[in-house]
Amino acid sequence: MAENNGNGAKGESAGVREGMGAWESGSLKKALDRGGERQEQFATTSTETRRLYTPLDTEAPAYERDLGSPGQFPYTRGVQETMYRGRLWTMRQYAGFGTAMESNRRFKFLLSQGQTGLSVAFDLPTQIGLDSDDPNASAEIGQVGVAIDSLADMEDMFEQIPLDKVSTSMTINAPAAVLVAMYLAVAEKQGVPGSDVMGTAQNDVLKEYVARGTYIYPPRPSLRLAADLITYGAAHAPKFNTISVSGYHIRDAGSTASQEIGFAFSNAIAYLEACQRSGVDVDEVAPRISWIFNTHNNFFEEIAKYRALRRMWAKLLRERFGAKNPNSWKLRTHIQTGGATLTAQQPENNIVRASVQTLASVLGGVQSIALSCYDEALAIPTEEAQRIALRTQQIIGHETGVTDTVDPFGGSYYVEALTDEIEAAAQEYINRIEDMGGSVSAIESGYMQTEIQEAAVEQQRAIESGARVVVGVNKFKSDEEPEPTIFRMNHEVAQAQIVRLKRVRAERDSAASGKALARLREAAQGDDNLMPAILDAVKAYATLGEICGELRTVWGEYRPPTVV
């Protein structure tokens, strides 16, 4: 794409304008007079969609400045030179339920089917730092993920899974530091040094306050804990991504695509600034920041979104933070197809939705993918649903040809214009949040929550009015639908987990765990990095609830503002 400078380019633009004018007043007018269009307005979640895109809509960007070659700044066209011609993305289905041993069996099944990485779902008590025998945990033990109470459970979950060969992603936030400490301790028991451990912990607690709700402590000490894990990992586990900043949950809560980028980037800025305040150089931590975003149904919007966010991150890190390492400029992202797009009605339709979303993600140049399985609107996925999801990725990767060239939509008038528009809209949100004093201030004021809520309400109204069609829900409905086969949880899981927890407490060195917890409480009252104290507590088989309880004692619990 050539830069639009010089008489030749100007003459070409004039010719395009003249041709467009003749088309609009001639054949287009006749077509509209005959029958019009299906609806008055077409739009993505972030911008209006024009009828036709031409060179006039892209204003011919400077190729090296705005696009560049793959693997080169600003990475609009991809973070690797050969992209999927070199190797395909990591196929990493989200799994985990019941006890650690049940999850271990599911992980081994997925690896046997050709999956190339693991992604762990934790149950709600684990996500909010409660042990399974806590009275507030009883109804949720092992229900939406695996229950992890202590290092003993983590040992069971990764039994015979070599942690120097398998990369593991963990969707855990408020207690992420504790779960990563357990993971590192398991690796150590396997003889794997921290320098060889691969994986990712979400550790993005700020988005919990606006989109997901599994927070424990107030935002500012939570930010400290997240930054402690990031800086510790940079020094002791350099192959492990100690934070995966999440736009995913922001989008599934109802945001637009531009809000998803804007709010996630604002949170990432807060993490980087917290690391800098602790005296760590940006180039020590930025290369290990990973991301998770959410792919919804608007095919071209999602392709453009991934191109825009890579360019935005590259410019932000180089220009604002002064990062000098090119690896700091590269945004590497996992995606999961949109959980909020799944329907309980005609659930088989979700296979098609996830396939289209996966294809958009691949064409957008992502590094890792998990499909939300077709039955997830009803229950935890069955093995059959997980197999279909994995096969979908494999078919797209090996049978379609879309992986044979890099950035195949580069140069598309529509995709390039949409990439620019999404970037501009997302940047507006970032600027607004910066004017408020940053992400934490925006969260404390309720700004992000309100924006997401209003976007979600607008989308729901469009569905209810029929302006937005959801096949099988508000159009093309079936009077009779067959009863789907869904996963049924073993309700004896809770009791088995509690028995396991009691045995761990009885067999551990109680004096050692008590001393480790006391040292953690003392460290939390100061400014030192908390990871060494958390690791000591984990290795002494202090439980998740006990460790998080010590931090609750020091920091208190968060109570959200009322958002109206």
Three-class SS state of 86: coil
Residues 241, 368 contacting (CB under 8 angstroms):
no
Three-class SS state of 146: strand
State the distance between the two ends of the chain, measured CA to CA, in whole angstroms.
47
pLDDT per position as a tens digit, 293-338: 999 999 999 999 999 999 999 999 999 999 999 999 999 999 999 9
DSSP per residue over 2-56, as a string? Answer: --S-SHHHHHHHHHHHHHHHHHIIIIIHHHHHHH--SSS--B-SSSBPPS---HH
Residue 418: partners with Cβ closer than 8 Å, 6 or more residues away: 44, 47, 300, 301, 304
The residue extents of the domains of the chain are 63-465
Residues 550, 520 contacting (CB under 8 angstroms):
yes
pLDDT at 4: 46
pLDDT per position as a tens digit, 386-431: 999 999 999 999 999 999 999 999 999 999 999 999 999 999 999 9
Three-class DSSP labels, 321-354:
CCCCCHHHHCCCEEEEECHHHCCCCCCCHHHHHH
Cα separation, 332 vs 529, whole angstroms? 27
pLDDT at 303: 98
Task: Fold for 63-465, please state it.
Answer: TIM Barrel (3.20.20)
How do the residues of the chain divide into helix, strand and coil, expressed in percent and rounded to 5?
55, 10, 40
Residues in the chain with pLDDT < 70? 1-11, 59-61, 487-491, 562-564
Q: Judging by beta carbons within 10 Å of its beta carbon (0-12, 13-18, 19+), is residue 474 exposed, middle or buried?
A: middle
